[in-house]
Amino acid sequence: MSNMSRPPQRPIKRLLVANRGEIATRILCSARELGIETHAIYVSGDASHAARADHVIALASPSTFMDIDSLIDIVKKHKIDAVHPGYGFLSESDVFAKRMWEEANAVVLGPGWGVLASTGDKLKARALAAECNVPVSPALHHPTNNAEEVLNFASKTGYPIMVKAIDGGGGRGIRLILDEASLPAAVKRAVEESPSKQVFAEKAAVDGFRHVEVQIIGDGKGGVTHLWERECSIQRRYQKIVELAPSVVTDRKLIGRVIGDALKMARHISYFSLGTFEFLVNPTTKEYYFLEINPRLQVEHTITESIASTDIVKAQLLLSQGADVSNCGLPRSARNPEVPPPTHSIQLRITAENVQSNWSLSIGKITSFQFPTGNGVRVDTHLINGHAAVVSADFDSLIAKLIITASSWEDVVRKSQRALADTTITGVKTNLDVLRAIVAHPDFLAGQCDTQWLETNQRELLATGLQITEQTTNRLSALGLETTGSSSGPSLTNVNTMFRKGDAWSLTLDTPNKKPGSGHKPLPHHIEITRVLRNEFPISISADVLFTSPASGSSARPQTTPYTITLTSTSSSAAAATSHHRHGNPADPSHVCIPFPGKLVEVLVDEGDVVKEGDVICVVQQMKMELEVRSPRSGRIGWVMEVEDGDEVAEGMLAVVVEGEREAKL
């Protein structure tokens, strides 16, 4: 067994989907269509995806999704013989794949631990590209966590450079460094976000480059094929937001060479299962460089399915059971890399983010939603009508994916505009504003968006998006249809139920396992508010109350006692743990506020320190990304929040008070 690099192909009887949200829902659908018995795992408050499974298994906490020992125990207990990891979580862990096979005799869907170990590591993947004579950019060829080594590399190659975690994905552990001054902090943040705490550096290819990736499918027996390419150039902080297939780069000979190189690399290692080979392509200079391999199912696999008229999750399940590329459900027509498919498809990721507030995570409860319908419109989501869904800091912010397909690029852009206008989500802020602005922009229609386009045009897009959303809202309001558009309704961190002096309730407590017909009826207690001390409900509330107990006997009188009651939420909402902290005043120039909820990584200043405008005050982690909070002015630190590293912080919380230079002298 030690010489194996992946499990043998064999029938699947019982499949565990070791993921959540829309991707768990997506995988469960394909498995059910193949007649496979399905198992889903979930945590309290995040269970909607599990409704599609034959069997559901509750987890103790969100961290269990990353706990290999616990997942192995679940597989053994339920006699599961295959696990689909989806994307994220443990999907690129060679240790997970190998241990699951050796300890639980269960197959983890994917290329196997051998390929995961060699391609999930970005440096090893670059070495494979070089071995296959595929272009790569100049790089530091060994992993490091030392900023001095990166500085030495930069001094030889020149700026800009890119620092990347050697493992992981989702845009984490990546920093573009433009000069020497920003290098130490950027390297530190990238190292902290890397699962292995190791990074490497490469010469940055940014100006005019497009992000083009090739969908590869292999059967491990020498059969390797492609399903054309996707373009993912519209991204922010290396996280993809809008993806399209095929690429809008018009030079098909250039794209053909990229697809050919991806096939060459995949054949060299006899690739098995699904894989995405990513490149940076400059359509003007005709340069292109290999970037990395994602040896798993991608978030944006949907648009490949649309242009190829196939189900690649089903193909992946069939390959694991012994099929080859000729009989796993792929289209039988020839696919010439230089000839694009006859259809175009766009994926729009809808996320719970407040784009007007630095794209911060919007924590709260989704109370209602409406998604578009019509020809060429597909919606992938875990949301279920009539069941509220909670967005918390525990998981990714992805709510749904709109996949729009049409016979021409112009048609698919127009259809995307219509579909987004027909989409509403209430209860949390979303990125619908900016999605609407992107697909309405002339550059998008002209196919002129490179990897820097979104961040370069962000201010214009945010303003345009608000205008488009307002027009949609006004049109629906004129029809008497209520909508809050995209950046909808208050999140839980802003909800506030009115409580007043004199509010009173009758309170009864009863045991749930009382025998029927026992005749016992609990006596009511009474509670009345005499003074509201603090009201941040449902996160917390503190009030003086009068609590009246019922009389215990025929001659006894009810007993009234004054109390101070404090209720504090223990849910996963970041604000639940932070409501007692001081909130900043945006109108006060001395206040530096936390712009988004998350976990505090570190505070870099103390009272009395002198800071310059732009200095980093603290670092907050959100969705595994470490984000810096900077001072908007120069001065002296007069006050610092008392929060421990690792504690939750809320949006709007006061981080520090920076006294201006004049105030400091006084």
Could you give the CA distance from residue 94 to residue 356 in angstroms, rounded to a whole number?
Answer: 39
Long-range contacts of range 263-268, CB-CB < 8 Å, 24 or more positions apart?
Answer: 263/214, 263/216, 263/224, 263/225, 263/226, 264/132, 264/134, 265/128, 265/129, 265/132, 265/134, 265/290, 265/293, 266/216, 266/218, 266/224, 267/222, 267/224, 268/128, 268/131, 268/132
Predicted structure pTM score: 0.79
206-232: b (≥16 Cβ within 10 Å) or e? eeebbbbbbbbbbbbeebbbbbbbbbb
Band (pLDDT 50/70/90 cuts) for residue 6 is: very high
- 546, β-bridge pairs: 528, 562
Q: What are the pLDDT digits (tens) for 477-518?
A: 777 665 544 554 444 344 445 566 777 788 887 776 666 666
With a cut of 60, say whether residue 433 has pLDDT above it: yes
pLDDT in tens, 643-658: 888 888 888 889 999 9
> Shortest CA distance to 348 belongs to which of 426, 436, 246, 449?
436
Token pair recorded at residue 293 = 């391999």
Residue with tokens 């206008």: 421
Q: Is the pLDDT of residue 579 over 70?
A: no
Across the range 86-112, mean pLDDT stands at 97
Give the residue-averaged pLDDT of 585-603. 87
Question: pLDDT tens digit string along 277-320?
Answer: 999 999 999 999 999 999 999 999 999 999 999 999 999 999 99
Q: What pLDDT sits at residue 494?
A: 41
Q: pLDDT tens, 332-368?
A: 888 999 999 999 999 999 999 989 888 888 888 898 9
Q: Is 296 a catalytic residue?
A: yes
Among candidate residues 296, 349, 436, 636, the one labeled active-site is 296
Q: At what angle do helices 94-104 and 68-77 cross, to 10 degrees?
A: 30
Q: Is the pLDDT of residue 122 over 60?
A: yes
Full set of structural domains in the chain with CATH: 14-109 (3.40.50.20), 110-133+206-339 (3.30.470.20), 138-203 (3.30.1490.20), 343-488 (3.30.470.20), 494-508+524-572 (no CATH), 577-665 (2.40.50.100)
- What does the pLDDT average to over 397-405? 97
